[in-house]
Amino acid sequence: MLKKLKEMFGLDRPVVLAPPPLTLLVPLAGRAIPLAAVADEVFAKNILGEGAAIIPSEGRLFSPVNGTVARVFDTLHALAIISNEGLEVLLHVGLETVALNGEYYESFVRDGDIVRAGQLLLRFDLGAIQAAGYDPVTPVVLTNQACELLKLGEIAVGEPLLKAMGQPVGSQKPNPETPNEEKPNDAAG
């Protein structure tokens, strides 16, 4: 009897809980802008997912989450990380920089490496990339969940940047002009 009740109510299957909202940290110093402001439609129209972009002030990229490196692109301009909670994060240093074929980039990780938030992933020559005529803006994209942009403007490595919403991409349309930190505090009365 107990077995039939468990089957009827689905209690015979393992329980899968959605992870709580997770904060992604700023992976490189610079100025955060809405992803919609990026001069590449693939990012600006959220084709790959939601997120933010950073205009870098220095050439070091750090992990925004604890997780596993899923892919370091052969040209070293981009990499993907799967967080311990299952978030898929794409970090793409510069626009059209695939054409540089790895020149000006140095990777400190390989596919399959376990990484911690704040760990150095890539070093790149920001000045050389700009001198070669490329835009160094760096999209930070969650490819499998909707997210909320937490901060615009000047940012430092390790600060909160994005909050994963635990919902599919496109299910929430946060207003990138009013991140949480800039909203008035109504709780004070």
What dihedral angle (degrees, nearest 10) is formed by the CA atoms of 183, 184, 188, 189?
-120
Q: Please give the backbone phi and psi of residue 71, each rounded to the nearest 5 degrees, phi first.
A: -160, 130
Query: Residue 171: its pLDDT value, please?
Result: 52
Q: What's the pLDDT at 169?
A: 61
Instruction: Tell me, letter by letter, the H, E, C secondary structure of the chain.
Output: CHHHHHHHCCCCCCCCCCCCCCEEECCCCEEEEEHHHCCCHHHHCCCCCEEEEEEECCCEEECCCCEEEEEECCCCCEEEEEECCCCEEEEECCCCHHHHCCCCEEECCCCCCEECCCCEEEEECHHHHHHCCCCCCEEEEECCCCEEECCCEEECCCCEEEEECCCCCCCCCCCCCCCHHHCCCHHHC
Are 104 and 128 within 8 A, CB to CB?
yes
User: What's residue 17's pLDDT?
Assistant: 37
* Low pLDDT (below 70) residues in the chain: 1-21, 167-189
Q: Give the tens place of pLDDT for each residue, 59-86.
A: 999 999 999 999 999 999 999 999 998 9
Domain ranges of the chain: 27-169
Predicted local confidence at residue 166, as pLDDT: 78
Span 158-173, pLDDT tens digits: 999 999 987 666 554 4
Tell the CATH superfamily of the 27-169 domain.
Glucose Permease (Domain IIA) (2.70.70.10)
* pLDDT the model gives residue 174: 44
| Per-residue pLDDT, 3 | 58
The model scores a pTM over 0.85: no
Partner residues linked to 1 by β-bridges: none
Q: Is 77 a catalytic residue?
A: no
Which of these is catalytic: 35, 76, 92, 129?
A: 92
